[in-house]
Chain A
């Protein structure tokens, strides 16, 4: 990703070119004012900080002085502001539990199609 020289590196740490690519991938967007690009990058930075600190404060990882995936996933589920993240931060379950769920669904006559095959459960 191209880095901007001088001021931008101090003002925002995320690469503007990458942000621009993501913004342009949105179908109805035709063009983006440079200020809007900067603000989106800066807002994303603030968002990341907010998500991380909120998850850390409210999460169990704090007990081990760590920020875990589970903390983030809980935040997405429990805090309304972050609810738009629930699809990409799903809760994880043990494989054994998942298999049991599948068996139960088959018994109920449904075929369950799972999105994930996570084996670990974070503490």
Chain B
């Protein structure tokens, strides 16, 4: 929001509730895609499909970018390595989104075996 805009307490609490409802709605929707794929684990593709289903296509591109950064950081932590070159690569990947989807699907299947639910490292 622009600088200096006040947000009432009621508005804050309402936004907080809306966010929770959004998570539930998105999860339920993503889970439908997972079940269609006969998978028990929700993966990144399911969440992205859910966004499109919920008519939040505008989120898909920024989410993909963030995901790339996140995955890089996860890998970086495990391997203790910094990859500055990959940043320029991800910009090119945005243009060829269809190819990226196929890549992600393959990668996700691999990652399912490694990363289940645990968030705490």
Contact = CB atoms under 8 A, between A and B. Distances in A.
Nearest to B60: A43
Interface residues of B, number: 61
B27 A11 contact: no
A56 to B, nearest CB: 6
Main secondary structure of the interface of A (DSSP, over half): helix
Given A35-B43, A36-B30, A44 B19 contact: yes
Contacts of B111: 33-35
B119 A29 contact: no
A67 to B, nearest CB: 5
B119 A11 contact: no
A11 B69 contact: yes
Contact of A68 (B8, B42, B121): B8
A47 B59 contact: yes
Given A2-B120, A42-B63, A35 B70 contact: yes
Main secondary structure of the interface of B (DSSP, over half): helix
A45 B19 CA distance: 8
Contact of B115 (A2, A7, A34): A34
**Chain A interface residue number, banded:** 35 or more
Q: Which one of A39, A48, A50, A73 has the highest number of Cβ atoms from chain B below 10 Å of its Cβ?
A: A39
Contacts of A28: 28, 31, 35
A46 B111 CA distance: 25
Contacts of B93: none
A72 B17 CA distance: 12
Contacts of A56: 1-2, 5
27 contacts: A4-B119, A5-B121, A6-B77, A7-B69, A8-B70, A11-B66, A22-B20, A31-B41, A32-B117, A33-B44, A34-B119, A35-B71, A36-B46, A38-B44, A39-B48, A43-B47, A46-B59, A47-B18, A47-B56, A50-B56, A51-B18, A65-B5, A66-B5, A67-B8, A69-B14, A72-B11, A89-B14
